Amino acid sequence: MRLLIVGTLKGQLTLATKYAMDKGASVMHADTADQALAVLRSGRGADLLMVDVAIDIAALVMQLASEHIHAPIVACGIENNAKAAVAAIHAGAKEYIPLPPDPEMIAAVLAAVANDDREMVWRDESMGHVVKLAQQIAGSDASVLITGESGTGKEVLARYVHTRSKRAKKHFISVNCAAIPEALLESELFGHEKGAFTGAVARRIGKFEEANGGTLLLDEISEMDVRLQAKLLRAIQERVIDRVGGTKPVPVDIRIIATSNRNLAEAARNGSFREDLLFRLNVVNLKIPPLRQRPQDVLALAEHFIDKYSKANGLPPRPLSNDGRKALSLNPWPGNVRELENTLHRAVLLTSGVEIGPDALMTPDGQRLDAAPQSAAATHAAAAAEQVTRAFVGRTVADVERDLILETLKHCLGNRTHAANILGISIRTLRNKLNEYAGDGVAVPLPHGGDVRMAG
């Protein structure tokens, strides 16, 4: 997370800087808006600007927009009143923070902008295979292509690879190729020289140079125009880029991760994607299965999101009721993890009882999940049942019992009492079983979600 603080505010921003750095942010300072623009053009970049309300925020926002620099602004002021906040928001700031700052507010703003609280959460074996492969190749510099439907968590997996690579201490820069107009994407990626085109008032460093030494994520790369794909291929092959309007190649040292929710092999066959670029990107393919094919992940992710949004809203975490769990498990989740997250966010806010039940699990249009067409739910349930049945064939009752107990314990983050209640056995029986498994050298989850324990 890169934070650029603009202004002085009589030293009050020094405390904000400390809080931000305590949360892992790298912090830069600029006294004026012109100095801030120089920093952003230079390639040092920023994920968030905290700006003194005394600075002309409206003019700064307009200048950023004219140069196609994307960086959200949070205004800061020593006046803790509605007038200052409203003026800052009207000027184009995303939020207003009164000073002296509150540590929790600073942390919340940083997390909201950087999405640093997104975690890899999985329980299903199909997702486990993908994560294991990601762990294996993370330490290399090989290009990675992450594929999967929208909402499956492709960018989350990309960040997971980066944080386990030798480039983890360098920048992770993301570019959404579908969100930037074709005419601007080349400049966004490769930068431009002053006067290269109308509006190029100064040299601007692009994302390739900004990511130098780190990782560049090209999100939804399938949406990139074929002509720009040729320039991207050269950059990947030769490790040099040409700024728009430039005359001198610029060397870069980055790792490329690309994502797509389309079939790129098919796109290459019909001519909308370069086959040679596909070969360069697809050194390793991490294909994320849709959530409907990861039944064990649904409840694990649901509990993660309940905990996340309960904390974010200052609410006590409530468990899912049995009917709530059933409603989540039977839903086909066409929007995948993103849809599940939004559903649980709403449920946390809507729940008034001691448990989260079906009445709080709503679609965006206010329909209960368990009121969805039965055919879709039945199909999903049948597929899940078939998968479970296949897993049982050829195995002993003891093996099935052991796996059921250990999976339930993992699901309960090691909580023996909770697991015993779900399994319908006494806590003593559960402990005896776990001691038996540990004695056989089987990994047993520790209480409170700690690392597994084996007999040694």
**Confidence (pLDDT) at 214:** 94
Number of structural domains found in the chain = 4
pTM metric for this prediction: 0.68
Contact 91, 58 (CB under 8 A): yes
Residue where a domain terminates, one of 59, 86, 114: 114
**Confidence (pLDDT) at 452:** 55
Residue where a domain terminates, one of 272, 287, 302: 287
Q: Are residues 138 and 97 in the same domain?
A: no
Contact 12, 57 (CB under 8 A): no
CA 25 to chain centre: 17
Residue 421 belongs to a domain with what CATH number?
1.10.10.60
Residue 251 exposed, middle or buried by CB count within 10 Å (0-12, 13-18, 19+)? exposed
**What DSSP element (H or E) covers 421?**
helix 416-423
433 to 137, 261, 426, 449: CA distances (angstroms): 37, 44, 11, 18
> What pLDDT, in 10s, does the model give residues 10-52?
666 677 777 777 777 788 889 899 999 988 888 777 888 988 8
> What pLDDT, in 10s, does the model give residues 283-320?
999 999 999 999 999 999 999 999 988 887 888 889 99
Contact 195, 245 (CB under 8 A): yes
Say which residue, 163 or 2, is predicted with more confidence: 163
- Does the residue 387 lie in any domain? no
Range of the domain at 13: 2-114
- Does the residue 120 lie in any domain? no
- CA angle (354, 357, 363) in 5-degree steps: 135
- Does the residue 119 lie in any domain? no
**Confidence (pLDDT) at 70:** 78
> What pLDDT, in 10s, does the model give residues 317-350?
899 999 999 999 989 999 999 999 999 999 999 8
> What pLDDT, in 10s, does the model give residues 358-380?
999 998 888 888 875 544 444 55
Q: Is the pLDDT of residue 235 over 90?
A: yes
Residue 398 exposed, middle or buried by CB count within 10 Å (0-12, 13-18, 19+)? exposed
Q: Are residues 215 and 266 in the same domain?
A: yes
- Does the residue 389 lie in any domain? no
What is the DSSP-derived secondary structure letter of residue 192? B
Residue 297 belongs to a domain with what CATH number?
1.10.8.60
Q: Are residues 338 and 449 in the same domain?
A: no
CB atoms within 10 A of CB 105: 15
Residue where a domain terminates, one of 287, 319, 344: 287
Q: Are residues 89 and 163 in the same domain?
A: no
Q: Are residues 233 and 130 in the same domain?
A: yes
